[in-house]
Amino acid sequence: MAQLHKNFTDSQVKDLMERYLKKEIKRSYLQEILSIKRRRFCTLVKRYREDPNSFSIQYQRKKKSRTISLAVEKNILKELTFEQKLIKDKDIALKSYNYSFVKEQLKIKFEQQVSLPTIINRAKKHNFYLKKPKHKVHDREVLTNYVGELIQHDSSLHKWSPYASEKWYLITSIDDFSRYLLYAVLLRKETTWAHIMALQALFLKHGLPSSIYADSHSIFRFVQSRDSVWRKHYLLTDEADTQWKQVLNDCNVKYIPALSPQAKGKVERPYRWLQDHIVRLCARENIKDIRGARRILANEVQQYNYHRVHSTTGEVPHFRFQRALKDKKSLFRNFIIKPPFQSIRDIFCIRIERTVNPYRKISINNVEIKTNHVPLGAKVILRVYANERTGLSEIRIWHNNRLMGIQKVKTKDLNIVHF
């Protein structure tokens, strides 16, 4: 419908109406001049006939005064006060208000539908408002064309609940193309073994990706002068493979190091989203231990993967991921144990090299292990797989690409730093 009041004056339209009634101009021409449909034209003619003197095409929008009840107002201020308390806590990594989260809480907890502008208006009125800091421009394009082409892997240490006595690590893996969170877990301690277990869960469930993108943490990458204690360096950067990288090598998965935090922007944004929601929910549910935080994490990952439209892709991550698999736009490969290896425990493990002593034994931190059928003075590769449930580690002894024996030892007795 044309906005006549912006294109014509009252006198112009009155003149046209009068000429039409006198049959000086046909309706079709007038419709074309006014750029309106027949129904709209007939309505104008009727109004002009009824009262030519007061006829006008000008109008004013009537603003509806919207008021909210005192109960809703009280709950908005209650939620904003709680937000302010979290922001002022220096141990909590929250720097701004989340009004969308407040809106969700009003709906879930009180079954109250409140618009976002109303909440922001109350926030500004009662000093629950902070100006957003200017962020550096970053690339938000999806640069990959297939799922499994690039997996971004990282960890983050935060105090996820104001009532917790410690900080926890969040380890995640996200597919670059679909933005689907493939793996997410909260842990008390970050170790090489935790990241190897992340690879195991990811590879066994989804397959082997083409490459993995992670930062230059010492768990992922050896860097000369940072990871060496000697003044004379015999190994340059990347000439020594970390335990985590050796797993990737055995699986033929390429490791791409991110040289700065800014380079990991695509995985940092889901972190911020998870961090924002998990901290706020842990605070509201009075979470004190990691078990409760893990439950909240699982729910938020479910929301992120299956219900939230991603701001960059414009799609829900799960459906984008599944459609790519259906359209055969995937670089994931089936996980297969390649000979001579016999078990996943030979792949997802800690590798230790030892020399057999004259007593046909080897030692790991004063724990002696008997070796049979291995020549004296020969070098063996111990592939150690820790079972967190039983507290035992399975030590698989390899020599010349042959499995020479298996022994089990208490993990705590091995005292290996990677665990």
Mark residue 268 as left, alpha or beta (left: phi above 0; alpha: psi -120 to 50; beta: remaining): alpha
Q: What's the whole-number mean pLDDT along residues 235-256?
A: 82
Q: Can you give the pLDDT at residue 394?
A: 94
Q: Are residues 204 and 312 in the same domain?
A: yes
Please check whether residue 335 lies inside any domain of the structure: no
Residues 202, 93 share a domain? no
pLDDT value of position 164: 92
357 and 232 within one domain: no
Q: Is residue 195 scored above 60 in pLDDT?
A: yes
- Residue 402 · residue 395 · CB < 8 Å: no
Which residue, of 326, 357, 383, is where some domain finishes?
Answer: 326
89, exposed or middle or buried, with CB in 10 Å at 0-12, 13-18, 19+? Answer: middle
Whether residue 141 is contained in a domain is answered as no
- Same domain membership, residue 176 and residue 33: no
CA distance 16 to 23: 10
Q: Are residues 161 and 28 in the same domain?
A: no
Looking at residue 209, its pLDDT comes to 96
pLDDT grade, residue 169 (50/70/90)? very high
The pLDDT assigned to 1 comes to 45
Q: Is residue 362 part of a domain?
A: yes
pLDDT at 261 over 90: no
Q: Is residue 109 part of a domain?
A: yes
Long-range Cβ contacts of 32-40 (<8 Å, 24+ apart): 34/2, 34/4, 34/8, 35/2, 35/7, 36/1, 36/2, 36/4, 37/1, 40/1, 40/2
Q: Does residue 292 or residue 135 have the better pLDDT?
A: 292
**Cα Rg, the chain, nearest whole Å:** 33
- My answer on whether 219 and 279 are in the same domain is yes
Task: Report which residue type is found at 79.
Answer: E
Q: Quick check: 189 pLDDT over 90?
A: yes
pLDDT at 269: 67
The whole-angstrom separation of Cα 59 and Cα 52 is: 16
Q: Does residue 135 sit within a domain?
A: no
d(CA 183, CA 172): 5
Number of helices (H), then strands (E), in the chain: 13, 11
Query: Phi and psi (nearest 5°) for 212?
Result: -125, 135
Helix (H, G, I), strand (E, B) or coil at 389: coil
Percent of the chain surpassing pLDDT 70: 88
Give dist(CA 13, CA 9) in Å, integer. Answer: 7
CATH number where 244 lies? 3.30.420.10
Task: Say whether both 186 and 320 belong to one domain.
Answer: yes
Residue 41 lies in a domain: yes
Whether residue 151 is predicted with pLDDT greater than 90 in this model: the reply is: yes
- Whether the link from the prior residue into 340 is cis, omega within 30° of 0, is yes
Whole-number pLDDT of residue 356: 92
Confidence of residue 219 (pLDDT cuts 50, 70, 90): confident
Residue 112 has pLDDT above 70, yes or no: yes
Backbone angles phi, psi at 107, to 5 degrees: -70, -45
224 and 120 in one domain?
A: no
Residue 276 pLDDT: 86
- Report angle CA 172, 411, 340 to the nearest 5 degrees: 75
Same domain, 188 and 310: yes
Question: Is residue 405 left, alpha or beta, with left meaning phi > 0 and alpha meaning psi from -120 to 50?
Answer: left
pTM of the predicted structure, to 2 decimals: 0.75
pLDDT of residue 166: 93
Average pLDDT, the chain: 86
For residue 319, what pLDDT is reported? 96
Contacts of 341 (CB under 8 A, 6+ apart): 250, 347
Query: What domain range includes position 193?
Result: 151-326
Sheet holding 379-387, edge to edge: 350-355, 379-387, 392-399, 402-410
The answer to whether the CB of 181 falls within 8 A of the CB of 270 is yes
Q: Do the domain assignments include residue 163? A: yes
Q: Residue 263: inside a domain, yes or no?
A: yes
Of 218, 198, 193, 223, nearest to 209 by C-alpha is 198
User: How much of the chain is in helix, strand and coil states, percent to nearest 5?
Assistant: 40, 20, 45
pLDDT at 236: 47
Amino acid at 211: S
pLDDT at residue 313, rounded to an integer:
87
- d(CA 397, CA 414) in angstroms, rounded, equals 15
Distances 54 to 8, 9, 39, 51 between C-alpha atoms, Å: 16, 14, 21, 6
pLDDT digits (tens, 9 = 90+) for 384-404: 999 989 999 999 999 999 999
Same domain assignment for residues 302 and 354:
no
On whether both 76 and 192 belong to a single domain, the answer is no
Residue 230 has pLDDT above 50, yes or no: no
Write down the pLDDT at residue 211: 95
Q: If residue 284 lies in a helix (H) or strand (E), which one and from where to where?
A: helix 265-284
In the chain, pLDDT over 90 holds for what percent of residues? Answer: 50
pLDDT in tens, 265-317: 555 666 677 888 899 999 999 999 999 999 999 999 999 999 988 888 889 99
Number of domains in the chain: 4
Tell me the mean pLDDT in the region 326-337. Answer: 95
- Domain-terminating residue out of 281, 300, 326: 326
Q: Is residue 78 located within the same domain as residue 25?
A: no
CB 214 within 8 A of CB 172: no
Beta pairing, strands 211-214 & 151-158 = parallel
